[in-house]
Amino acid sequence: MKLSPLALGLSLALYAASSYATAATVANTSGTLPATASSSATAQQPADGDTDDTTTNNDGSRNRGPSKVKQLGAVNVSAALDQARNALSPDTGSSQYVITAQNIQALPLGDATPLNQVLLQAPGVVQDSYGQLHVRGDHANLQYRINGVMIPESISGFGQTLDPRTIQTIKLLDGALPAQYGERTAAVVDITTKSGAELGNGGSVGITGGSFGTLNPYASIWGSSGNWSYFFTANYLENNVGIENPTSSKDPIHDHTNQVKAFGDVSYLIDNNTRLSFIFGMTNNRFQIPNNPNQTPAFGYLDTVNFNSANLNELQNEQTRFGSLALQGKFGNTNYQVSVGQRFSGLQYYPDDIGDLMFNGVAGQINQGDHASTLQADFATPWGGDHTLRYGVYGEFDRAYTNTNSLVFPANPDGSQASTVPFNIFTSEKITAKTWAAYVQDEWNITDNLTLNYGLRGDRYQAFREESQLSPRVGAVWQATDSTTVHAGYSRYFTPPQTELISNESIALFANTTNAVLNYGNNTPLVERSNYYDIGVSQNIGSAWTVGLDSYYRDASRLQDLGQFGTALVYSTFNYKYGRVRGNELSVTYNQGPVSAYFNFAYSRAMGKDVITSQYNFHPDALIYIADNFIHLDHDQKETSSGGISYAITDTTKVGADYLFGSGLREEGLTPNGLSLPYYFQLNLSVSHDFNFDSFGKLHTQLALINALDRTYELRSGTGIGVGAPQFGPRRGMYLSLQKDF
């Protein structure tokens, strides 16, 4: 990955004009996992008086240079800069849930837990197949930020790009977000990475292994030297359950995966007041598509009429590369962070030519890619004593492509197969998408107990058409008592479709083939526009308990949804003309002595009416019904719950448990998405112990039992709008982790 000279020059030019001052922020936390100390916090101001100005010697010697600036310790400087960076991003009026590195370590799989499984511990987060997440009734639409820098999302699939071993804290922000947050607004996954300046010089190596052929070695190294600090981590994963099993059997057929991930964060303290940082990451993931045996072919191929579906050999590969260069500092009294970045995301699907033709009537080899270039600038200026003015811009330039070689059979006018001899159709689509946004907002500390944040955001999106919107935002936090915090907010949202998922293929090329569509309609997805309302309260009970309650409602026009309509595990965007989503969330945490625990429960309803884009993916009867009736979205889950407990028996031995509960996603009934899948419950157990050896030092061990009750449950039944295949949750598995720090 290369950063352009223009991007580097922009950052250096901004640095040359910068100097340092202070700013403050008020942040409200409506919920945290137990390791978080409190439910509200105020970022501390960096000290101005800790820097000694340069002084020139007066001994008259031309050969002796002036005295150097006295430097603060690298840890103190980095901490002050972290606080200033955090002050750029308010959360007033939104709902927030914090997960720390200690919380992640306490999960049964510890640092080996995939990021999507970590996020499932937050309220209102629903699991789906292929590692997908739904927050508050939305499909995907998650915004990922690393150290304040927005990372464009990758092509939808089932590879996890980010590694929890990099994480110091995660803040999941949802609800009515301030004007700073746009584009992807279902939730903001705000990640603060571990820092070599804070950890000191060291590292760790380890391995996790166990059931289903799981092998996951990893290594991390971190440290600092002078003004430099760094954190690097990499891991390799292979197992035989890369994708959810389409059957209830314990051992899926043809489901091996190999995955490689790496991440790095390098920072340089230019002086006590300014920092240049470079973050980067990569993933290479390979998957076998698991097979569902005993399926009956629908088409003949040459002289072949039978094909054992257990022998299909479909494959999918995914790659992601990203990097961002960020400069943080001050203009007089103004905090800023400016970043430029690049992200590449690629996906390749390789069909089983004969098998896909016989079961689906099409065998499409798909190659998708998306290159994204980004510019982000955020500023914060205190004024008038009680105000902090924040403003900034964001730009993203995407170049996406999809190349497909499709083998199909000729078809009769009634759609039946006309010949058993296939032929190839090549389609190629390219799109350039431009996204520009600017915002301004004022955080007003009306009193010591009441903070109001109001602002305006402007977005412009240009791809197949140009769309734009001005979006007002307002949020408030009231510290009603020392133990009670109330927040409320309203946000107008503008959500562009995912660029790499937009398809403008010439559908007419497939006329009179076994891949012909029943409906043509409008195949260009639209920007979603919505009004979001949120109100919540957080109550501390004594020093151990925190209880949070939150309610939300979203009224959307041109509601976006995603579906798997083809054989590849690639998703297509479509729009409902109307959408409405509502729900309530309860979170409870306890943390005292050797015991920490958390409990979340969420109720949600997500409905859509009248499909107005990508109608070619739907059966005509379904379109007619949906045109006049609200239906449940396919990812709508009425009740969701998660929870866990950790008990420290001694300083070196801990036991824990967590669970996931859901009332089930949707499936086909008498009406589209008319039924709910059965309730499910998954219990996970763990025990960890630190061994101390005279010659070796400390060895951390952790034993996890996933789905301890071995309960079989379906995430997907294979029916419903945009649902491609059945998907079952994990069966019981045991895993052992060993880790040595140095």
3-state secondary structure 58-82: CCCCCCCCCCCCECCCHHHHHHHHH
**pLDDT for 548-571, tens place per residue?**
999 999 999 999 998 776 655 567
Q: Which two tokens stand for residue 95?
A: 């709902």
Name the one residue in this structure whose structure tokens are 């993203």.
Answer: 396
Task: Spell out the residues 6+ positions from residue 307 whose beta carbon is closer than 8 angstroms to its own.
Answer: 297, 301, 354, 355, 358, 359
SS3 480: coil
**pLDDT for 683-729, tens place per residue?**
999 999 999 998 889 999 999 999 999 999 999 998 877 677 899 99
Prediction pTM value: 0.87
What is the average per-residue pLDDT within 443-452? 95
Share of the chain above pLDDT 70, in %: 87
What's the confidence (pLDDT) of residue 84?
80
Contact criterion met (CB below 8 Å) for 381 and 87: no
3-state SS, 495-541, equals: ECCCHHHCCCCCHHHHCCECCCCCCCCCCCCCCEEEEEEEEEEEEEE
CB atoms within 10 A of CB 73: 10
**pLDDT for 353-401, tens place per residue?**
999 999 999 999 999 999 999 999 999 999 988 999 999 999 999 999 9
User: Where residue 501 falls among pLDDT bands split at 50, 70, 90?
Assistant: low
Contact criterion met (CB below 8 Å) for 358 and 345: no
DSSP 170-218: EEEEESS--TT--SS-SEEEEEEE--HHHH-SEEEEEEEEEGGGEEEEE
What are the distances in angstroms from CA 666 to CA 422, 663, 670, 675?
36, 10, 12, 6
Average predicted confidence (pLDDT) for the chain:
87
Q: Which of 347, 328, 248 is nearest to 290 (CA)?
A: 248
**pLDDT for 656-667, tens place per residue?**
999 999 999 999
Burial of 300 (0-12, 13-18, 19+ CB in 10 A): middle
Residue 15 confidence (pLDDT) above 80: no
Contact criterion met (CB below 8 Å) for 631 and 672: yes
Element (H, E) at 572: strand 572-592
Contact criterion met (CB below 8 Å) for 113 and 704: no
Residue 644 confidence (pLDDT) above 80: yes
Contact criterion met (CB below 8 Å) for 394 and 434: no
What's the confidence (pLDDT) of residue 203?
95
What's the confidence (pLDDT) of residue 569?
58
User: Where residue 83 falls among pLDDT bands split at 50, 70, 90?
Assistant: confident
Residue 566 has φ and ψ, to the nearest 5°, of -110, -170
**pLDDT for 593-605, tens place per residue?**
999 999 999 999 9
Task: Spell out the residues 6+ positions from residue 644 whose beta carbon is closer than 8 angstroms to its own.
Answer: 106, 107, 121, 597, 598, 656, 657, 658, 659
Is 636 or 64 the better-scoring residue by pLDDT?
636
User: Where residue 58 falls among pLDDT bands split at 50, 70, 90?
Assistant: very low
Which alpha helices (DSSP H) does 330-371 contain, by range?
353-360
Residue 30 confidence (pLDDT) above 50: no
CA dist 633 and 574 (Å) reads 12
Burial of 22 (0-12, 13-18, 19+ CB in 10 A): middle
Residue 164 confidence (pLDDT) above 80: yes
Contact criterion met (CB below 8 Å) for 390 and 88: yes
Give per-residue burial for 436-454: e unless 16+ CB within 10 Å, then b. Answer: bbbbbbbbbbeeeeebbbb
Beta strand pairing status for 31-32 and 95-100?
Answer: parallel
Name the one residue in this structure whose structure tokens are 């799109």.
Answer: 431
**pLDDT for 196-238, tens place per residue?**
988 999 999 999 999 999 999 999 999 999 999 999 999 999 9
What's the confidence (pLDDT) of residue 60?
37
CA dist 8 and 589 (Å) reads 45
CB atoms within 10 A of CB 50: 14
Which alpha helices (DSSP H) does 361-471 contain, by range?
none
CA dist 225 and 80 (Å) reads 18
* Residues belonging to the chain: 742
Hey, what amino acid is at 219?
A
Q: What value does the CA radius of gyration of the chain take, rounded to a whole number of Å?
A: 27
Its CATH architecture, for the domain 5-47+70-741, is: Beta Barrel (2.40)
Hey, what amino acid is at 199?
L
Contact criterion met (CB below 8 Å) for 463 and 500: no
Name the one residue in this structure whose structure tokens are 């509502």.
Answer: 582
CA dist 626 and 528 (Å) reads 18
Task: Spell out the residues 6+ positions from residue 214 whose beta carbon is closer than 8 angstroms to its own.
Answer: 208, 237, 238, 239, 733, 735
Element (H, E) at 255: none
Residue 63 confidence (pLDDT) above 70: no
Contact criterion met (CB below 8 Å) for 430 and 455: no
Residue 27 confidence (pLDDT) above 70: no
What are the distances in angstroms from CA 615 to CA 66, 289, 430, 464, 578?
73, 27, 21, 17, 15
- End-to-end Cα, the chain, rounded Å: 31
Task: Spell out the residues 6+ positions from residue 61 whose beta carbon is closer than 8 angstroms to its own.
Answer: none
Name the one residue in this structure whose structure tokens are 């954190």.
Answer: 231
**pLDDT for 117-126, tens place per residue?**
999 999 999 9
Around 420, how many Cα atoms within 13 Å sit in the side-chain half-sphere? 12
Helix, strand, coil abundance in the chain, percent, nearest 5: 10, 55, 35
Beta strand pairing status for 466-479 and 484-495?
Answer: antiparallel
What's the confidence (pLDDT) of residue 672?
94
CA dist 266 and 262 (Å) reads 14
